A and B are shown apart, each in its own frame.
Chain A
């Protein structure tokens, strides 16, 4: 119930295209859903995050879509650029105090994005 399932495992997109990465979760106690971007040999960087009280959040070329009833959320990268080539991780956590999972991030398996010029 703690898992977050991420797909696809890898994704190849042409420059200017749209990259879409999907995640699904089971634990209904999750109420915070961040996306992280990681370049080889570096730590993950927080990209964008959403709470379940909204269905969409946009920051620049990055958009999170959230479907609470389906327990799914996705990252859309518009106008994908070669510099976006990285591994993307979705994650989920609960912000309600108490319990052993409070504040801990559960990560998806990661998606290796390659944007061809």
Chain B
């Protein structure tokens, strides 16, 4: 259980075009999904928090008009990179939050990550 998929796994686009990346929770519903960006040999940087049915919350320094996030259903969030430029080339990873009951009857949550999408802008 707790499988997250992303599509496409890699994409090459020309500078100035827009690219949409899909993130799906396959076997659970996720009211909250997260979008990360990772440069080679670096850690994951949180870009935004996507909440189903409401506007995404962006981290400081992330351009909301450039990285459009839509969380239209409990199993799907999309990230659209608008007017992409070579500096937007990166590995984009989504995660979905799942709630679980733990021992002691405590409701807890964990994040499960998708396989990532490699974006190359030429």
A104 touches B49 (CB 8 A): yes
- Which residues of chain B from 76 to 122 have a CB within 8 Å of any chain A CB? 91, 93, 95, 97, 108-116, 118
Interface residue from B6, B44, B110 paired with A46 (Cβ < 8 Å): B110
Q: Output the least CB separation between A6 and chain B (Å).
A: 8
Residues in A with CB closer than 8 Å to B4 are: 43
Contact A95 B93, beta carbon cutoff 8 Å: no
A49 & B110 in contact (Cβ 8 Å cutoff): yes
Are A43 and B111 in touch, CB under 8 angstroms? no
| B113 CB to nearest chain A CB (Å) | 4
The reply on B19 being an interface residue by CB < 8 A is no
B54 contacts A by Cβ under 8 Å: no
Interface residues of A in 93-117 (CB under 8 A from B): 95, 103-105, 107-110, 112
> Complex: how many Å from CA A109 to CA B116?
18
**Chain A: interface residue total (CB-CB under 8 A):** 20
Counting residue pairs across A and B whose Cβ atoms lie within 8 Å, the total is 51
- Output the nearest chain A residue to B32 by Cβ-Cβ distance: A103
Q: Which interface residue of B42, B95, B113 has the most chain A CB atoms within 10 A? A: B113
User: Do A103 and B97 contact each other (CB < 8 Å), given the known contacts A42-B115, A42-B116, A46-B110?
Assistant: yes
Q: Does A44 contact B (CB under 8 A)?
A: yes
Q: Are A34 and B110 in contact (CB under 8 A)?
A: yes
Give CA–CA (A41, B41) in the complex, Å.
11
Residue numbers of A with Cβ under 8 A of B are 32, 34, 36, 41-46, 49, 89, 95, 103-105, 107-110, 112
What 7 A-B pairs have minimum CB-CB distances, sorted nearest first?
Answer: A43-B113, A43-B116, A43-B115, A107-B43, A44-B113, A43-B93, A107-B44
